[in-house]
Amino acid sequence: MRNKGIFLGLLFAGLSLYSCKDQPENIVEVTLPEEQQEQKSELASPDSVKADGKFQLVKLPYTYDALEPYIDAKTVEIHYSKHHLGYANNLNKAVAGTDLESKTLEEVLTGLDMENKAVRNNAGGLYNHNLYWEILSPEKTQPSGALLEKINADFGSVDALIAQLSEAGAKQFGSGWAWLVVNKDGKLQVGSTPNQDNPLMPNVGISGTPIIGIDVWEHAYYLNYQNQRPKYIEAFFNILNWDAVAKKYEEAINK
Ligand SMILES: [Fe+2]
């Protein structure tokens, strides 16, 4: 009996060892598809992003991964569903119960009390990012029509405009934005502002209706480009939707 017990013990131990040896292969086969599925499901739909209150984000006109390889999906997702949503929610909180609640976002910005930091930062953040998403596109576009004529008249060429805008973005110290605006004389003008300030606000160094805004905050590019802001700005022009910019130009000169 004792020998039989020892034999059975050895048999179970052997089977256990065989089973353990076999496990890693099974784990690899089973877990790989699950990991892949998990990666895909990490990207939620931008349509589910809603601010709590009157002031809302623009609907993202494409999926989170549409701007790759120029801007990666994770950056777009975090930028839109966390940063941009945060500005909208904080603006709604800041204006709750005040006269500003009944104004449009543009009215809040043009009549801004610059000492009201909560409204300044968050109304700016909401407006700037609305513009940013609207003027990007996975489709390749080119400047045309009245906008192209005006760029050539005011800058000499599209390349010269891009060079000026790129320099404005690269030289902006710390977080901020580079802008192309239509100023009060109907002229195109390049400039930059710190933080979430923008050219609709009073006394920020550049004034007019923004038609291009380049977000040069690190959250816009750091995952892909780390500290290489100029490379991100170069990529930005590959996905700039010139048709959307032309539409904004027409609206600005017809205001
Ligand atoms: Fe941003």
Express each pLDDT in 210-254 by its tens digit. Answer: 999 999 999 999 999 999 999 999 999 999 999 999 999 999 999
DSSP H or E stretch at residue 188: strand 188-194
Gap from CA of 129 to ligand 1 centroid (Å) = 6
The distance from CA 87 to its chain's CA centroid, rounded to whole angstroms, is: 12
The alpha carbon dihedral of 18, 19, 24, 29 has a sign of: positive
Gap from CA of 2 to ligand 1 centroid (Å) = 75
Gap from CA of 55 to ligand 1 centroid (Å) = 17
Residue 149 belongs to domain with CATH number = 3.55.40.20
Residues above pLDDT 70, as percent of the chain: 84
Gap from CA of 62 to ligand 1 centroid (Å) = 17
Q: For residue range 60-87, what is the model confidence (pLDDT) as tens digits?
A: 999 999 999 999 999 999 999 999 999 9
In a domain, 171, yes or no: yes
Backbone angles phi, psi at 216, to 5 degrees: -110, 20
Left if phi > 0, otherwise alpha if psi is -120 to 50, otherwise beta: which for 227? alpha
What is the total count of domains within the chain? 1
In a domain, 43, yes or no: no
In a domain, 129, yes or no: yes
In a domain, 170, yes or no: yes
Domain residues for 199? 72-255
Rounded CA-CA distance 67/125 in Å is 21
Copy the structure tokens of residue 34. Answer: 């699950």
Gap from CA of 225 to ligand 1 centroid (Å) = 15
pLDDT at 11 over 50: no
In a domain, 49, yes or no: no
In a domain, 154, yes or no: yes
Gap from CA of 100 to ligand 1 centroid (Å) = 23
Q: What is the mean pLDDT of residues 20-48?
A: 55
In a domain, 38, yes or no: no
The residues facing 213 across adjacent strands are: 179
Rounded CA-CA distance 159/117 in Å is 37
Gap from CA of 187 to ligand 1 centroid (Å) = 27
Gap from CA of 137 to ligand 1 centroid (Å) = 17
In a domain, 253, yes or no: yes
